[in-house]
Amino acid sequence: MSATFETVAGIISETCDIPREKITPQSHAIEDLGIDSLAFLDIAFAIDKAFGIKLPLEQWTQEVNEGKAPAEQYFVLENLCKRIDDLVAAKAA
Amino acid sequence: MRLEYFDMIDKVESFDPASKRIVTRSTVPAQSPVFEGHFPGHPLVPGVLLTETMAQASGYLLLGLNGLTQMPFLMMVDKARFRTFVEPNAVLDVSAELVHEGSGYAATKAKIAIAGKPICDAELRFRLMPFPADMRTLMQSRIAAIGLSPEAA
């Protein structure tokens, strides 16, 4: 989890030019860090490549838009990192 | 090519879904209003239109692979290199390959060559979205005109 967060925080910092110290596990990518949808796709590309996975952004967006899941479930960084860990584990299984 | 209409791809030479690659060909027109300004007496295809040409080849690749289920919109240009000038009547070999298929986006590498000589290349990224009204019909017409057969409809 910690290593995943460090990687993700580094990607966000570099991709969006956000000071690394402002990025915490509790940061909400959209509400706290101001990352827009286009920038998030840029982050997703870097995460996909770094972890060898495919973040299911379309599914997540649909679930949030339909009220089936709160945005925090995917866009608070500690939750995002948990999803990444799950995807990496699923790929390895 | 009809530069002023952003109609950049003339025909598809090959489309290989297995390798996720497309090769297209375009001939730069002898005359175009674009050349009146770029540059008077020294006509050159603007780099931005070469970028658009690579983006359209990539776009057709993505449409071919997804069977026109989503429309690719250019969202990022990385590492664009323009290695030499392109003049009227040049025959361009425009190729693109898929390098990553994400959820709601895709990344390609594209390049243009003239008689085997590299002209320009770039890494491009596209957002994949539902077709806006009537655009799917328009794109169906375009891919038929350039000879592209999509993977699945």
Per-position DSSP letters for B100-140, written without gaps between them = EE-SSEEEEEEEEEETTEEEEEEEEEEEEEPPPTTHHHHHH
Q: Per-residue pLDDT for A83 more than 90?
A: yes
Of B75, B103, B107, the CB nearest to A38: B75
User: Whole-prediction pTM value?
Assistant: 0.90
Which residues of chain A have a CB within 8 Å of the CB of B107? 45
Q: Per-residue pLDDT for B40 more than 80?
A: yes
Catalytic residue list contains B100? no
Cα(B110)–Cα(B126) distance, integer angstroms: 13
pLDDT digits (tens, 9 = 90+) for A17-57: 999 999 999 999 999 999 998 899 999 999 999 999 999 99
Top residue of A41, A60, A62 to mutate, by most chain B CBs within 10 Å, is A41
**pLDDT tier for residue A93 given thresholds of 50, 70 and 90:** confident
3-state SS class at B82: strand
**Are B8 and B49 contacting, i.e. CB atoms less than 8 angstroms apart?**
yes
Distance from CA of B46 to the nearest CA of A (A): 27
Q: Which residues pair with B118 in a beta bridge?
A: B113
One DSSP character per residue, A57-87 reads: HHHHHHHHHTTSS-THHHHBHHHHHHHHHHH
**Are A77 and A23 contacting, i.e. CB atoms less than 8 angstroms apart?**
yes
Cα(B122)–Cα(B120) distance, integer angstroms: 7
User: For B74, which residue in chain A has the nearest alpha carbon?
Assistant: A38
Whether residues B102 and A42 touch (CB distance < 8 A) is answered with: no
Cα(B26)–Cα(B54) distance, integer angstroms: 11
Distance from CA of B101 to the nearest CA of A (A): 8
Phi-psi region of A92 (alpha: psi -120 to 50; beta: other; left: phi over 0): alpha
Cα(B2)–Cα(B8) distance, integer angstroms: 6
Top residue of B105, B108, B124 to mutate, by most chain A CBs within 10 Å, is B105
**pLDDT tier for residue A92 given thresholds of 50, 70 and 90:** confident
Residues B38, B127, B136, B142: which is the catalytic one?
B38
**pLDDT tier for residue A1 given thresholds of 50, 70 and 90:** low
Whether residues A44 and B103 touch (CB distance < 8 A) is answered with: yes
Q: Can you tell me the ipTM of this complex?
A: 0.83
Distance from CA of A3 to the nearest CA of B (A): 23
In this prediction, residue B151 carries a pLDDT of 74
The pair phi, psi for residue B112, each rounded to 5°, is -125, 140
Mean pLDDT of all residues belonging to chain B = 95
In this prediction, residue B153 carries a pLDDT of 43
Which residues of chain B have a CB within 8 Å of the CB of A58? 103-104
